[in-house]
Structure 1
Amino acid sequence: MVAVAGVVAVSAASSGETGGDLQLGDEVELREVPIDEDGLRATVEKDDTRTLNTVGEGVEAWEEYLDAKENQMLVMEEEESGDHLVVPHEHRWSADYRRRTYARLKAAERHVTGKWGETVPTTMLTLTAPHKDASGEYRAFTSVLSDLKEGWDKARDVIGRETEGVETEYLAVYEPHATGYPHLHVLVFGVARPSLGEKVAGYWVDRYVEGASRDAQDVTVKRGRSLQLESPAAYLMKYLSKSLAREGSEGATDRQSLPSIAGYRGFSALMWATGKRTYSMSEGLSEAVAESAPESEEAEGTWKYIGTVSGVEAGLYTGEEAERLGKYLAGSPNQRKPPDRGGGEVNGSVRGPGPVGDPGRY
């Protein structure tokens, strides 16, 4: 059974003003609540893989991961020339991540405004799942995340049927509740229908809640006022920016540039330990964003990952510089494989200095 505590639908039409911001409430991070019923395995750094049982343990491991990755660089070696390529080890919580993500959202904005005009018909859905079970005990964070994922899978099916023959795109964003539990915001571009949320909620109740009414399951749909989406990216950033690193002052560490919103640490620990993406796009929107991305500098050749260092500038090292870097790396105590990359050869070409690490995770 899919347990869904709420579906809030807000239509975005051609005129009017936005409704009030969603209220997160007071910060109540539940450190002793299970992060997973069976525990989550997570690697902080080499030779430090832990089983995380509580949210508090998850937060501690995630913060240590951020500290371990601060100023860390990845080193690649070209097979024939022996040249070395040093690139920053960036991840979802790097200070530069916010700028890169905003650039993606601006590209999404250009795509939807190019397709539907300056005012984009949009329907917003907010999906939430129960934080407590029938006995009143707090549920594991992964259980709530699993409900949201399954619920969104079903919601996409409903939206597809209800908008058959209408071209639409979507963007879905996970965001933390004040307790750290996740909920999901979805923008469906191309339609402005508050009734779409009614259909989604009704489908869940009819199909997954046996003998229960909509009120009994706290499945609600709120009809919001119309609003004019003259800048979809800015509207999205109102929500997405809550779970992204802020700009930070010059010299600030990645950890120091993190948002200070309620529930952010528990939420981030969950997304880090599970490897789940923070946001996703429809296939058409994702392809349009990828096509609009600026070309990256590339270094031709066959490259292999050889280690990790700190205190070395990014760039291409050749000749004696490459030899010195190789010797330094051989004696460096912090060699280790980068997360989500198995090492080994990379045929064809590799990106020049730029963001790598946590590939494909947003």
Structure 2
Amino acid sequence: MSESGKEWVDVRVDAPTSAVSRPSMANRARGENQAAVTDFLGKRSQQITARDGVKLRREAVVPEARANRAISWKGLIKQWRTWYQDRRNAGLVFEKDGEQCTGPQENRFMPSYSNKLYAKLKDLERGLHDAYGRRFHTGMLTLTASAGRPGEWVAPQDHLDELLSSWEAVRRALHRSLDDSLRWEYLMVLEPHKSGYAHAHIAIFVDGVVEEERFEPVIDAHLRNCELAERDAHEYENVITVKRVAGSRDREVGEIGNLGSYVGEYLGIYEEEGPLDAPEHVQAFNALLWATGRQRWRPSNGAQEYMAYDSLVLEPEWDLVGVTYDGGETVEPVNPHGGGVEWTETWSDWPPPD
């Protein structure tokens, strides 16, 4: 970066975001400029979005007389921490014919959810091993987007939307590249940089040997359809790897021996700290996912079928009516149609939209 600050800086990081080292076969996003990171961390007062019509949790918006504005990223982190603290011992209250029952209100940021997610990844690994055998290979692609430059950062919500704006084109490119000649599934994962901005990894699970060149059109699709994606950050040799997934007994150097651990590192499920003690950039990333309702991972239909799912199952007649924080003595009413979440949209024009 020049002293004038006129050169654009890609915000990327090559260090893992948890205390556990990631296997060496994983793709890493390119190293980010530490001065740029320091500059940004001092400016979390920026709004998470300045656009109108952005759907956010009500906690992420400040209603004003002539506007409905998104709060700052710093304020969002505080709101997320308060929400998490309030809900660590919360329960969901359901009602049918005047009777009520309470179930746990587990959320995706809880350590218990990480344990379930790891179990799902192991189910996926076992299912694919059974289906593909020794032919089982995994491609790993990395997609990034520039977050701007010091003094002119892209708002984090806008950056996340733009990063994911290429997804449908990327998915179509995957289908064209692999076509019907191979059986394959995928799992897309979001991971934070040290700045809190996100980048994406796509794990492609293939029944057979596949060349890295076969995935180059997928990277090109991202570059064509994401305005913030830059070619120098997507050199094929840096963002595409293919490795065989071996069993524990026949693993060779450079092969993947534990797919659940390999993918789980990207999902942050091995972080030793609790959510409120995680590094600041991880909390900033989690707060953004919370405010926007974005999921951190997105499996193909086939991958989803391999991943066993276990949760509270209720008969359709039971209606969600509230949340309790004291074992059911006091019930706080919620909006049943939003899963207990109140959503709103940003706007800055007067009069407000209908």
TM norm structure 1: 0.68
Cα-to-partner distance string for 1:264-289 (whole Å, 9 max, x where unaligned): 12111111111011101011111232
Cα-to-partner distance string for 1:155-199 (whole Å, 9 max, x where unaligned): 211111111122110001101100000000110110543213432
Question: Taking structure 1 as reference, are residues 339 and 259 closer, same or farther at Cα in structure 2, changes over 3 Å only?
Answer: farther
Q: Is the 8 A contact 2:169 2:225 kept in 1?
A: no
Gaps of 5+ in 2: 1-9, 13-22, 244-253, 343-354
Q: 2:333 aligns with which of 319, 330, 336?
A: 336
2:305 is matched with 287
Distance 2:194 2:50 in 1: 21
Q: Is the 8 A contact 2:139 2:203 kept in 1?
A: yes
AA aligned opposite 1:96: S
Distance 1:240 1:338 in 2: 30
Distance 2:282 2:157 in 1: 15
Q: Is the 8 A contact 1:120 1:230 kept in 2?
A: no
Cα-to-partner distance string for 1:20-46 (whole Å, 9 max, x where unaligned): 77377667535123311237642349x
Q: 2:111 aligns with which of 81, 95, 98?
A: 95
AA aligned opposite 2:257: E
2:281 is matched with 263
Cα-to-partner distance string for 1:300-324 (whole Å, 9 max, x where unaligned): 5832334322232xxxxxxxxxxxx
Question: Taking structure 1 as reference, are residues 273 and 61 closer, same or farther at Cα in structure 2, changes over 3 Å only?
Answer: same
Question: Taking structure 1 as reference, are residues 341 and 99 closer, same or farther at Cα in structure 2, changes over 3 Å only?
Answer: same
Q: 1:37 aligns with which of 34, 46, 50?
A: 50
Question: Taking structure 1 as reference, are residues 57 and 232 closer, same or farther at Cα in structure 2, changes over 3 Å only?
Answer: same
Determine if the alignment matches structure 1 residue 196 to structure 2 residue 194: no
Question: Taking structure 1 as reference, are residues 225 and 193 closer, same or farther at Cα in structure 2, changes over 3 Å only?
Answer: closer
The Cα of 1:257 is off from its aligned counterpart by 4.4
Q: Which shows bigger deviation, 189-198 or 105-114?
A: 189-198
Distance 1:65 1:48 in 2: 19
Determine if the alignment matches structure 1 residue 159 to structure 2 residue 197: no
The Cα of 1:151 is off from its aligned counterpart by 2.1
Cα-to-partner distance string for 1:6-64 (whole Å, 9 max, x where unaligned): 99xxxxxxxxx84477377667535123311237642349x999843321122122112
Q: 2:263 aligns with which of 229, 236, 250?
A: 236
The Cα of 1:78 is off from its aligned counterpart by 2.7
Determine if the alignment matches structure 1 residue 303 to structure 2 residue 318: yes
Distance 1:213 1:178 in 2: 19
Q: Is the 8 A contact 1:173 1:280 kept in 2?
A: yes
Q: Is the 8 A contact 1:131 1:144 kept in 2?
A: yes
Distance 1:142 1:240 in 2: 19
Question: Taking structure 1 as reference, are residues 171 and 297 closer, same or farther at Cα in structure 2, changes over 3 Å only?
Answer: closer
Question: Taking structure 1 as reference, are residues 93 and 192 closer, same or farther at Cα in structure 2, changes over 3 Å only?
Answer: same
The Cα of 1:200 is off from its aligned counterpart by 2.6
Q: 1:175 aligns with which of 191, 197, 215?
A: 191
The Cα of 1:246 is off from its aligned counterpart by 4.7
Equivalences for residues 86-125 of structure 1 within 5 A: 86-117=102-133, 120-125=136-141
1:137 is matched with 152
Q: 1:68 aligns with which of 71, 86, 94?
A: 86
TM norm structure 2: 0.70
Question: Taking structure 1 as reference, are residues 187 and 299 closer, same or farther at Cα in structure 2, changes over 3 Å only?
Answer: closer
Q: Is the 8 A contact 1:205 1:214 kept in 2?
A: yes
AA aligned opposite 2:334: K
Question: Taking structure 1 as reference, are residues 35 and 76 closer, same or farther at Cα in structure 2, changes over 3 Å only?
Answer: same
Distance 1:300 1:124 in 2: 40
Question: Taking structure 1 as reference, are residues 298 and 197 closer, same or farther at Cα in structure 2, changes over 3 Å only?
Answer: closer
The Cα of 1:147 is off from its aligned counterpart by 2.1
AA aligned opposite 1:189: F
Question: Taking structure 1 as reference, are residues 164 and 272 closer, same or farther at Cα in structure 2, changes over 3 Å only?
Answer: same
Gaps of 5+ in 1: 8-16, 249-255, 313-324, 344-356
Secondary structure at the counterpart of residue 66 of structure 1: helix
Question: Taking structure 1 as reference, are residues 301 and 238 closer, same or farther at Cα in structure 2, changes over 3 Å only?
Answer: closer
Distance 1:220 1:60 in 2: 38
**Root mean square deviation of aligned Cα:** 3.8
